[in-house]
Structure 1
């Protein structure tokens, strides 16, 4: 599916990466597989992250000092499940050049994924021309997922399919597809849905814009982000405008006790 070479005889490695001797930093990686002479590090992103290259550089630095990874070649891949485009390299003069592979689930061939029940859930993330196409595809994937003999595996594949569907579909569309397939909608209750994710993304954009305006007006970055949070909490629709035009004394007073 994705062109990622898994190390021979790979075993799951530590994902809580630590500068063992200095204890200066800790980061949680998504998946680390360690083979005899190479290490595979995978990061799964629900949506693209503009800071991904910096994060991957941190992960690589931490992997390099992990005893289980010492002296091994390190392969790094990011798999973006939803929208957006992430940076895949850092090229910072004069001497810093760093790169890794980024894969986008939306570029997958859905027919190829559905052909194997074990990869069928990934077809849910592949591109579609319209919402109805996704509903039809969801029903097809669920049939493939539930066709396996193992009940526990069928359940896992079904839940993975629904989790992926929640990234690209609205809740009501998924639940309609489930009802049409004669399946219960109870299993969808704990998922985070696409419309919730878009709202979260919008809030992040407003927060960043408001904070940048405040920094431009002379407020230090840490306090600017605190003020932006308060402004969003009061009214997200006016947060950016207030950051640009409200009197600075009144804005700083919002976080005087923080």
Structure 2
């Protein structure tokens, strides 16, 4: 599996601090013999992003970027998407995909700042994220090299990733890695989505304890909840007379909607490679 590729001197990795991207850091160091710069974006995923700094340092990373992009994400990406009424298959707001251009933009900015000649991501070779990241990067810097480890290495499961961690002394919490949710989840200020697990069976109903941000319509309050929204140039700027930043607006509305059984969806989507995938 190991091979030395010498055409890259420095690479900027979209780094979450989780198992997959921690393995990628060491894999890039081993196989490309290059310096790795990590970039962790806070787009409201609900997890502490600062621990990624200590994890990256433990892997020998010298240049570590952790950026709060929540306001930019909502102001420059989510709100314009709302104004355009952009819906996938006529019903799904682009919860996952709308965040990728912002991450790709910041990856390229960091590559320019640090003199990196490549970027890398942890998207698999079967999903749509690989295309979103890479087209975004190429649009901003056509000559940039993109390294997609999941399309290069022969590791295919969490078990093989954990075995690689033990072999290469990668500091990960194996107990938490083994307790991972059966669902593949993606979250930001706009949404949280679920794939995998029981959802692989299109006949199976999603389990109630899967949903983290909303209650079921059956358990939602019977009485209506009233809110008043103020708009400026098509964007919400205040709720019930209280001025709010874009990120605070979205966070507040998610809480109100979730408490009233609003926001659930169950669809089968098309992947770029021709596969279909169910998501909620």
Per the shorter chain, which TM-score range?
0.3 to 0.5
Q: TM-score, normalised by structure 1?
A: 0.33
Structure possessing the higher relative contact order (Cα contacts under 8 Å, 6 or more residues apart): 2
Q: TM-score, normalised by structure 2?
A: 0.31
Richer in strand (by share): 2
